[in-house]
């Protein structure tokens, strides 16, 4: 996106965009990194918004778990309750996929009303 100055928009910018999408009549979900352990590509507080047209802004992992988070967000936008997701990889698995160490990331996904 040309107008986006950084790959990690501020929470205020993401929430303003989510509000704009809601005002356009779209259903919107918000995913927030709530905890990490070990190797994690994004820090606690990182956020991703997704709408019912699958427009995305922000990031919770730099791409490695976004697909699974978006899938859960679709379920939540369709009426499922908010959900705490946990993704992790052991140290052994981390070396197999080229990461320096294992880690865990927890992401809370909720619909925005």
Residue carrying structure tokens 């070990």 = 38
Query: What's the pLDDT band for 54 if we cut at 50, 70, 90?
Result: very high
DSSP bridge partners of 29: 50, 111
What is the predicted pLDDT for the residue at 103?
A: 75
What is the predicted pLDDT for the residue at 97?
A: 43
User: Residues 108, 87: contact at Cβ < 8 Å?
Assistant: no
DSSP bridge partners of 50: 29, 56
Put residue 37 in one of left, alpha, beta given phi > 0 → left and psi -120 to 50 → alpha: beta
The domain segmentation of the chain, as residue ranges, is 11-112
Query: What's the pLDDT band for 9 if we cut at 50, 70, 90?
Result: low
- Mean pLDDT score, 46-70: 91
User: Residues 58, 9: contact at Cβ < 8 Å?
Assistant: yes
| 22 or 92, higher pLDDT | 22
What is the predicted pLDDT for the residue at 8?
A: 55
Query: What's the pLDDT band for 87 if we cut at 50, 70, 90?
Result: confident
Mean per-residue pLDDT over the chain, rounded: 83
């Amino acid at each position: 996106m040309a107008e986006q100055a950084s790959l990690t928009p501020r929470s205020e910018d993401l929430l303003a965009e989510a509000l704009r999408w809601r005002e356009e009549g779209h259903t919107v979900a918000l995913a927030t990194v709530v905890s990490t352990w070990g190797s994690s590509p994004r820090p606690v507080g990182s956020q991703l918004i997704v709408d019912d047209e699958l427009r995305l802004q922000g990031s919770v992992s730099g791409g490695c778990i976004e697909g699974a988070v978006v899938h859960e967000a679709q379920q939540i936008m369709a009426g499922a309750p908010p959900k705490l997701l946990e993704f992790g990889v052991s140290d052994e698995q981390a070396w197999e996929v080229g990461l320096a160490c294992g880690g865990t990331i927890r992401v809370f996904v909720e619909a925005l009303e």
